Homo-oligomer: A and B are copies of this chain.
Amino acid sequence: MLTVMARPRKFDEQQVLATVRERFWAGGYAGTSMDDIAAATGLGKGSLYGAFGGKQHLFHRVFDDYCNSVVDATAQQLRGDDDDENAYARLSAHVHAVAAATVADTAQRGCLLAKGTAELAEHDKTVADRAHTAIEALHALLKDDIAACQRNGDLDANADPGRLAALVLSVLRGIEALGKAGADEEMLTDIARTALAVLPRPAN
């Protein structure tokens, strides 16, 4: 009994998802209609529903993918090749990269993790849970890097790495929020610099 071949899809799923992400990112969940998405992707609404299951499913998919990409990108910046010697340089580069990306976001769009959470966390448990998972993962990445900084003698080994990681994470998330609220380049860059400068150094 051989398989019967059905009609193949005409669209590239990843490409469509990228377009959908863009639309939800710009307009928010409630502010973006399925007609918007159909027009942006060039797909008929029936195809969208058939392939992705509906507006909420589509958003969850896009939100999940985005959270994955943020965590993956952060992991790439913080983990490097797993040596302690460059851990501080990687942390510093990451913090400055977040500030620089926020400065470059002249549309004040911010990140989809924050926007989706702000809009939906109160009423959509899937979004709330996914955001929480992302935050925990980011925290863990920062904690590992800070522990490596401590082992390498770049930061005070007596400080709790989880607590320092939480502080840095709040600064990064704060930079994102301030960027959306129109903070200028100087403020954002200063925050990055100051945050790194106040991390406790080893006693001589």
Contacts and interface: CB of A to CB of B under 8 A. Distances in A.
A93 interface: no
A108 B135 contact: no
A177 B114 contact: yes
A138 B91 CA distance: 28
Interface of A: 26-31, 107-110, 113-115, 117-119, 121-123, 128-129, 131-132, 134-135, 139, 162-164, 166-167, 169-178, 180-183, 187, 190-191, 193-195, 198-200
30 contacts: A27-B30, A28-B28, A108-B117, A108-B128, A109-B121, A113-B181, A114-B181, A115-B119, A117-B177, A117-B181, A118-B119, A118-B180, A131-B180, A131-B182, A132-B181, A132-B183, A163-B194, A164-B194, A166-B187, A167-B171, A167-B191, A167-B198, A170-B174, A170-B178, A170-B191, A171-B171, A173-B177, A173-B178, A174-B174, A198-B200
Contacts of A181: 113-114, 117, 121, 128, 131-132, 134-135, 173
A20 B77 CA distance: 44
Nearest to A182: B132
Given A117-B180, A135-B181, 14 more contacts: A26-B123, A28-B30, A107-B122, A110-B118, A128-B182, A129-B182, A132-B182, A167-B190, A171-B174, A173-B173, A173-B177, A173-B181, A176-B177, A198-B198
